Structure 1
Amino acid sequence: MHLLNLGILAHVDAGKTSLTERLLRTAGVTDETGSVEAGTTRTDTLALERQRGITIKSAVVSFPLDGVTVNLIDTPGHPDFARAWTSGWRWSLAPCRTPSSRPSRTPSARRWARDCTAGRSPTARSP
């Protein structure tokens, strides 16, 4: 069986956990899409994450899909938790950066983009 480590990386409030939840639903892993606002996501398991609606630690959900074991990695976006983000992309075979909906990217988003490039990590930007 093949393995795909897919990391979701972006700045704070870019929708990483929401995207992770939609991917899990689309892949048939869950019957319902979890909600950050309602505290029902599969990857935000700490009480503080659920209370504040933020991701503090990277989380992995593994599932089979068409003969491939997918390790879907949801990473934090807040600069205070940069260490968890860095570990997420370093062991991800295919980091996926989500684009900013804001007019200008945050300094941390620019730094993380440089980190991925410097690490020669293959990246895909979501549309």
Structure 2
Amino acid sequence: MNREIKFRGKQIDNSKWVHGDLRQVEGRCFIMDYDIGDDGITDHQRVFNIHYEVDPETVGQYTGLKDINQKDIYEGDIVQIQGHPFEGPMQINGNYEVGYNDRMELCCGSLLLHRERHYATVIGNKFENPSLLEVTNE
């Protein structure tokens, strides 16, 4: 199964988030936005040649995973784990940042994201909502 490769980043000029292909030119980061058709489906064959300069610190790649609400999960997102069946013997429920560990495993905190995605809800990201990580179970 192939994973869709896409990125998101926050525009420099207006702080809006854009999604699409990542391009780096002379130390600057750009996201090339996709045309979304009338049917609401992004089609990589219908691409507008629109590039948005984004803050490189905010760029995150799509993990290929979705939360319990079918929302895409990106690096830098904050997910809330709730209703985990092992809660009690272990403290698992809480808010976690999505990223890679030192073994390049995709994690939320120290938990493997692919195992926890069934209990995860994206509640924000570390760039706009860092306070969501202040009380955490990491």
Q: Same fold (TM over 0.5)?
A: no
Larger RCO (alpha carbons 8 Å, 6+ apart): 1
User: Which structure: larger Rg?
Assistant: 2
Give the TM-score band, short-chain normalised. Answer: under 0.3
In the superposition, the TM-score normalised over structure 1's length comes to 0.25
More strand by share: 2
Larger helix share, 1 or 2 = 1
